[in-house]
Structure 1
């Protein structure tokens, strides 16, 4: 089942007419797709268009699934300065009508997994970039959405938190969620992603699993970085 369908998406805005040009792809239930490309390739624009944050678009974006809900994890954490970590989680639970017993159990588990139990009632103003990123991850995973859109999730995370994030991504895949993840950490992406969508100059230049990318790049046995170098200018 396709969780996300993008058909002939094009984005134009002042100063850059073809930020994204005629892009089509689909993301299946239980699939982790890596959105890969050099700086300025159109990755962030694609994400913003999928989220409905850009008006000047053509084409169609459809989010399917049972709850039609998506969890967005931005590259730069956005938190309320006057709410504690726990109050952020409570706000989300209230907004999406998550039963108290359920969210308290899930939230408690996340706090433990990300080593933030001691910061439960602290304001985020004093948090490091990594701690803020962990809060964003917990908020998204607490939602249990059909679709995750994740932008550079590994930046600022320590090795233990990175390991927990990968575990959570795999757990959500098993649950049937679709995950679109934009990242420059190609060695990690190669290990955990099922498929890849490679963008360059606003266009999809290759997509599929690693073997498919190798064939499209005309190389044998190369890694994701080798495919990236070959397929992007």
Structure 2
């Protein structure tokens, strides 16, 4: 997949030899490095407990590294805490919304928090609502929405911002086929405008088709990295599902079943 023209040579995300976790006595991540460039979609994959969520928390500045560093658009959290966090939008796996704010009010609050132009943000809000088939739900409260619709609200808020770095955790879960199609189109639009995307998912066929590069984590270590085709070649498999199984099995020093 050809990358859109990059606006800058500075990586949107640069993690260097990061060791971290909840306890210095038992780190979750061990010297993890990753880079995501503007306009690039990178898939972060691994088993449950591989360290994906911990890596994301370090990127967001919610955890302090034991060693190494994280930079977003060249800046560290220590350089400017508010600016660092404003350069990232995050969509968690489990939707988290304010119960007393409508969908429209959530998006207006997001636009205000990120200092977006009111006219352009209202226009983009309408476009996103149309893309995700949420126009009729703009006035609804979260308590009246299904889990899939709540997930759409989270995605719409993140895409409204179009930050240098967009982090999305399991975006396909709970979405209907048309919503997935709309999401993929919206992500392509965000990439074309220069946003970098780090996408964590267990839906490997989608990443096989869409990701520019993959980072495979296992037990806090990067065990493979590269384009989907190069990761499959490394594992000597023809699908990403099979390649992932082979890489994890090899990392554990075992043999594949079947």
TM-score of the aligned structures, taking structure 2 as reference length: 0.85
User: What are the within-5 Å matches in structure 2 for residues 17-166 of structure 1?
Assistant: 17-55=26-64, 57-64=66-73, 69-166=87-184
Q: What secondary structure does 2:163 align onto? A: coil
Distance 2:194 2:146 in 1: 32
Q: What secondary structure does 1:215 align onto? A: helix
User: What are the within-5 Å matches in structure 2 for residues 138-217 of structure 1?
Assistant: 138-217=156-235
Distance 2:136 2:95 in 1: 20
Distance 1:71 1:16 in 2: 31
- Aligned residue-pair number: 231
Give the conservation status (yes or no) of the 8 Å contact 1:36–1:198: yes
Question: Which structure 2 segments of 5+ residues have no match?
Answer: 1-8, 76-82, 250-258
RMSD: 1.8
Distance 1:214 1:119 in 2: 42
Shift of 1:159: 0.3
Q: Structure 1 residue aligned with 2:243, among 204, 227, 232? A: 227
1:9 maps onto 2:18 in alignment: yes
After superposition, what is the alpha-carbon deviation per residue over 1:155-209, rounded to whole angstroms, capped at 9, x for unaligned? 0000000000000111111111111000000111111111000000110000000
Question: Which structure 1 segments of 5+ residues have no match?
Answer: none
Q: Which has the higher relative contact order, 1 or 2, with Cα contacts under 8 A spaced 6 or more apart?
A: 1
Distance 1:64 1:114 in 2: 29
Q: What secondary structure does 1:71 align onto? A: strand
Shift of 1:97: 2.0
Shift of 1:13: 2.4
Distance 1:207 1:146 in 2: 22
Shift of 1:51: 0.7
Distance 1:224 1:60 in 2: 30
TM-score of the aligned structures, taking structure 1 as reference length: 0.94
Evaluate the alpha carbon distance shift between residue 16 and residue 93 of structure 1 in structure 2; reply closer, same or farther with a 3 A threshold.
same
